[in-house]
Structure 1
Amino acid sequence: MVGRIRLLSDLSVTSRTSRVSHATTIRSVATLTDTLKTKTGLSIPILPDAVFTNVQRGSVLAATYSIIQGLFAIVTGCFDIYSLSLAAPGSSHYGFYLFSYDFVYSGNPHVRNSLMLFGGITAFGGVCLIITSVVLLQGLRKEIEFRMEPWIWCMALFTAWRILIIIYSSIVNDMVFAYHVVMCLLWLLFIAGNIFAWLVVHSFYHELCEVTRLEDVARVKMDTMSTMGFSSRPTTPGAHGDNELIYCITTHHTRGKV
């Protein structure tokens, strides 16, 4: 953030070619938020903080949390595929096993195959969640908005997917077995954590978008002043206004500093 403010303060003495204004790319997440508010009148809540810390540190914690959840999704998804294939109706196994496969669904083959497919998709979603979390950490370190977007989309889709799977698996599986009960409770906790983590990262994303918008306003103003012949002056007539913009950016982003 210091580098961004320093860039604004140096615009009055740098060459005109280094001050060429460029429009900010409209981000997909910001567009979705505006569209939702326009069509439904509902706005996604923007959190001022992450309960016990600010949204920037909270976003780092959210990325770490999603990596752990991604690993959990890979392990449980692969285990579901393994257990369903191993305990197929009519199969015979010999030897010693650490646990019984009585909890595994063994009814309709189509339902069985769907559970295996969903386990594979969940494991793939866990891999995507880990990859996007690493990209998110890089974006948080450099404060780059578009590197945060893959995680925002991935977490939203993964959470919606797990809600559907929890409902489906709770219907088709026999909930008298401890394994299904524990998995259902764990994923309900994960879903609640996902929603909160998504809101934290989404809030910080919008803070960065607002900071970028203010920076672009300052760049456009300084470029306009340079075309009017004021670039050679140590202090331009618009310097006071630019200082106000810089102060607004600094004040707006204070709670996001690490």
Structure 2
Amino acid sequence: MPRSIAGSVSALSTTSRMSRTSRASTVRSVASLTHTLHSKTGLNIPILPDAFVTNVQRGSVIAATYSIIQGLFSIVTGLFDIYTLALAAPGSSHYGFYLFSYDFVYAGNPHVRNSLMLFGGITALGGLGLIITSVLLLQGLRKEIEMRLEPWIWIMAIFTAYRSLVIIYASVVNDMVFAYHILMCLLWILFILGNVYAWLVVHSFYHELCEVTRLEDVARVKIETMSTSRGLSSCPTTPGAQSVRSTQMDYKV
């Protein structure tokens, strides 16, 4: 039994039949995924037994908080990149007082510049998706519903892969002599590494919840089987009762 959710099997869930069916199908898919991964790579699921200094359940809460902070950071930096690229377009002139110089902003090929603006918008939308799925993740952790962990697992995996490609592209096209680009590159490298570990923590706890669901289903089936057997054994089977039933049937005939 996983240590992070020990004792959860003692109380059977009272979810509806449709919810039980969907959870059972999820458990079957998880079981097939676990067997395939172990046979091909030798890795066991859950991959992490704990989250560094705590269990994977509390580590998942920390991961959700961390992803909310990263989502806010992504929205701010994505919109800031769009703003600076639009304001410092080649051939534009502005007058007034500015807090900083726009020398660090890319002003070369228009297609590259438009792609950087597009990536900034996608980053902002990805940050919004992280915030929404992190709220669902916190609700799923509080109620121990594994289905609410799945959106965060998918969004975090896609967002991390996307930002890994974007940071490589931005580091190539931008001038890495400016402090802003160097700082963004270092911060996103740290975020990507943190995302990988946070994903492993939440993914491990997700499979622990699926294992608990499987044990709950097995226990419920055993209880229903025992209650059915007791109900059948309580039916009268004495010779007198059988003769009365046969007499009633003969009378009706």
The answer to whether TM tops 0.5 is yes
Gaps in structure 1 of 5+ consecutive residues:
12-17, 234-258
* Distance of 2:17 and 2:170 partners within structure 1: 57
Residues 232 and 141 of structure 1: CA distance in aligned 2, closer, same or farther (over 3 Å): farther
* Distance of 1:115 and 1:28 partners within structure 2: 42
Residues 136 and 22 of structure 1: CA distance in aligned 2, closer, same or farther (over 3 Å): closer
**One-letter amino acid matched to 1:191:** I
Q: Which residue of 1 aligns with 2:246?
A: none
* Contact 2:12 2:220 survives alignment (8 Å): no
**One-letter amino acid matched to 1:188:** I
**One-letter amino acid matched to 1:6:** A
Q: Which residue of 2 aligns with 1:6?
A: 11
Deviating 4+ runs (over 4 angstroms): 1-4, 18-23, 230-233
Residues 27 and 158 of structure 1: CA distance in aligned 2, closer, same or farther (over 3 Å): farther
Residues 181 and 31 of structure 1: CA distance in aligned 2, closer, same or farther (over 3 Å): farther
Corresponding position: 1:30 with 2:30: yes
Corresponding position: 1:180 with 2:181: yes
Residues 180 and 214 of structure 1: CA distance in aligned 2, closer, same or farther (over 3 Å): same
For this pair of structures, how many residues does the alignment match? 225
Give matches, 1:1-258, under 5 Å: 5-7=10-12, 22-23=20-21, 24-26=24-26, 30=30, 33-34=33-34, 37=37, 40-41=40-41, 43=43, 46-229=47-230
**One-letter amino acid matched to 2:37:** K
Residues 138 and 28 of structure 1: CA distance in aligned 2, closer, same or farther (over 3 Å): farther
SS at match of 1:129: helix
Of structures 1 and 2, the one scoring higher in RCO (CA 8 A, sep 6+) is: 1
SS at match of 1:26: helix
Following TM superposition, by how much is the alpha carbon of 1:7 offset from its aligned partner in structure 2, in angstroms? 3.2
* Contact 1:78 1:119 survives alignment (8 Å): yes
Residues 52 and 203 of structure 1: CA distance in aligned 2, closer, same or farther (over 3 Å): same
**Residue-by-residue CA offset, 1:94-124 (whole Å, 9 max, x unaligned):** 0010100000111110000000000000000
Name the structure where helix makes up a greater proportion of residues.
Answer: 2
Following TM superposition, by how much is the alpha carbon of 1:41 offset from its aligned partner in structure 2, in angstroms? 3.0
* Distance of 2:46 and 2:223 partners within structure 1: 34
**One-letter amino acid matched to 1:138:** Q
* Contact 1:118 1:165 survives alignment (8 Å): yes
Following TM superposition, by how much is the alpha carbon of 1:230 offset from its aligned partner in structure 2, in angstroms? 5.5
* Distance of 2:17 and 2:160 partners within structure 1: 43
What CA RMSD, in Å, does the superposition of the two structures yield over aligned residues? 2.9
* Distance of 2:231 and 2:128 partners within structure 1: 54
**One-letter amino acid matched to 1:63:** A
**Residue-by-residue CA offset, 1:190-220 (whole Å, 9 max, x unaligned):** 0011011111111111111101101101111
